[in-house]
Chain A
Amino acid sequence: MKVLVCVKRVLDPQVKARVKADGSGVDLANAKMTMNPFCENALEEALRMREAGTVSEIVVVSVGGGKTEETLRHGLAMGADRAIHVVTEDSLEPLAIAKVLKQVTEQEDAGLVICGKQAIDGDSNQTTQMLSALLGWSQATFASEVKIEGGEATVTREVDAGLETIQVKMPAVMSADLRLNEPRYVKLPDVMKAKRKPMDKIELDSMGLDTANRLTTLKVDEPEGRAAGIIVNSVSELVEKLRNEAKVI
């Protein structure tokens, strides 16, 4: 079985996003970028499936501008077999991304797609569910455990109340939650090896899809900051403040 792992290049999660002064968006010029952490979980799961013999080939795919290649090379260094870069300088919404991924999934004849549950920039948490809908496949989001046996997968999902277990028919689209696994570190020889792995480029315009944005961002603001607090010197002072000043206990 071939698995497609969808990955996204995002602002490094340790870096605080800065809103541009003109309110047009978040300033990403010269910012440190990485693979979205949940996408690493998704890829790691695919790698473990290949090691277990469930999966024969892993293709990483991403949609974006020229530098998206760096993120795909990271995926190849982690162990993916090859990469597909859908090239566009436009910033696509999840619905458009899902349409692109649907076409790639069908062209590749993949039997499983794994994505991260959420990209930490847009925080939309949509692409997996939308891709699953467009393909008409089963959907298993927020996965913390996946077992594929025969034509079915048993998936444990992280839900608000605890853990839910569902069974889905293959082919399926899944999204990785943080406890699914711990992504491996990339070693230098892997980085070298990744440079020689194949990376196909597909121009978005050549796909013949309607990827127009449905939402217009009117402005991006910085949230109001919190007023500065104080440092208390003891537990007794803290309790006194909470009782008499903040009046919350």
Chain B
Amino acid sequence: MNNLVIVEHDNNEIAAATLHAVTAAQQIGGDIHLLVAGHNCGGVAEAAAQIAGVASVKVADDASLANGLAENLAGLIVEQAQGYSHILASATTFGKNVMPRAAALLDVAQISDIAEVVSEDTFVRPIYAGNALATVQSSDAVKVITVRTIKFEAAAAEGGSASIEQIGGGADAGLSSWISQAVADNDQVDLTSAKVVVSGGRGMQSGDNFTMLHSVADKLGAAVGASRAAVDSGFVPNELQVGQTGKVIAPDLYIAVGISGAIQHLAGMKESKVIVAINNDSEAPIFQVADYGLVADLFEAVPELDSAL
């Protein structure tokens, strides 16, 4: 068996999510190769070669690969697929965008968002917003997989000494071009890797009121998240969304403020170690998953919490 893990990066740094996909590959077994496709991404290749357990790093450096455009990157993955039994990426917006395209070109299924490796061809994946877990067996010669990062520990970023191979390749399919990226505020703690997350829902009533949560978050070294309702209402941008169709996270502490606990929100946070719910509606479903519930007006409770910390 040979695993090819597609490295997510910005030509400077490897995304932490990739380390979790490497662990999934380790559990599948066999050799692990990484594909670093980008432009002026030599530093990323060097870092990739340090990841523990990796045998080899293939590097494709071309302007057409600079921004991870799906058409160009999927073409490269298909070119490189020969000899691999498993091709993996993390189930981030990067992996979700490119991997199904590569799978279709290879005429194989994709196994999305795996939560467990049962054997080399059998995997557990959540369906219905995590309210059911399907165990599926693949009959394809090549298994294209995206990995639910919270279900696999990160591989050690150092300790390996993989060989680095320049593979060339990379061609512009001529279908799309990258224009720009508006990146969220860099001062914020990263939502997907934060140990503590403070999230607000529709009960926050406005985007301005999220400053209360930021204040609490600052004291806890926490990231700020939000429910889909808060995003839908325009209080906060979508990258803060925690849920079935947003980010799936599992921090040590998750504080849900003014969040009712819709099915699709619970899907994104119910594997947090400790869940706190603050809501004025004692019947809110969020209390069914909370370790500590406080039935209170959030506009009184949150400032009080802020001063108590």
Residues of A within 8 A of B (CB): 11, 13-17, 19, 26, 38, 93-95, 98, 117-118, 120-134, 137-142, 144, 154, 157-169, 177-179, 213-223, 226-227, 229-236, 238-239, 241-242, 246, 248-249
Contacts and interface: CB of A to CB of B under 8 A. Distances in A.
22 contacts: A13-B263, A17-B131, A19-B132, A117-B245, A120-B245, A125-B96, A126-B100, A130-B100, A139-B71, A161-B239, A165-B181, A165-B182, A214-B109, A218-B136, A218-B137, A229-B292, A232-B292, A233-B294, A242-B276, A248-B196, A248-B274, A249-B196
A26 B127 CA distance: 10
Nearest to B295: A231
Interface of B: 69-71, 74, 92-94, 96-105, 107-113, 122, 126-140, 174-184, 192, 196, 220, 228, 231-232, 237-239, 244-245, 247, 252-253, 262-264, 270, 273-276, 282, 287, 289-296, 301, 304-305, 308-309
Contacts of A26: 127-128, 131-132
Given A159-B93, A165-B181, A229 B176 contact: no
Given A126-B112, A223-B130, A226-B270, A161 B183 contact: yes
A162 B182 contact: yes
B100 A218 contact: no
A114 B224 CA distance: 32
Contacts of B177: 166-167
Contact of A123 (B99, B126, B196, B273): B126
Contacts of A163: 181-182, 237-239
Given A168-B176, A217-B135, 8 more contacts: A17-B127, A121-B128, A129-B97, A132-B101, A215-B138, A241-B292, A242-B253, A248-B274
A19 B105 CA distance: 33
Contacts of A138: 71, 175-176
Contacts, number: 261
Given A160-B92, A169-B174, A11 B128 contact: yes
Given A26-B128, A179-B231, A129 B275 contact: no
Q: Is the interface of A mostly helix, strand, loop or mixed?
A: mixed
Contacts of B96: 125, 129, 141-142
A248 B273 CA distance: 9
A118 B93 CA distance: 12
A118 B104 contact: no
A16 B152 CA distance: 26
A223 to B, nearest CB: 6
Residue of B133, B138, B287, B291 ringed by the most chain A CB atoms within 10 A: B291
A148 B133 CA distance: 40
A67 to B, nearest CB: 18
A133 B112 contact: no
A130 to B, nearest CB: 4
A157 B239 CA distance: 11
Given A94-B109, A164-B181, A214-B140, A230 B293 contact: yes
A132 to B, nearest CB: 6
Contacts of B270: 226
A34 to B, nearest CB: 13
A230 B140 CA distance: 47
Contacts of A118: 245
Nearest to B174: A169
A131 B70 CA distance: 13
Residue of A38, A130, A166, A215 ringed by the most chain B CB atoms within 10 A: A215
A231 B308 contact: no
Residue of A121, A130, A165, A222 ringed by the most chain B CB atoms within 10 A: A130
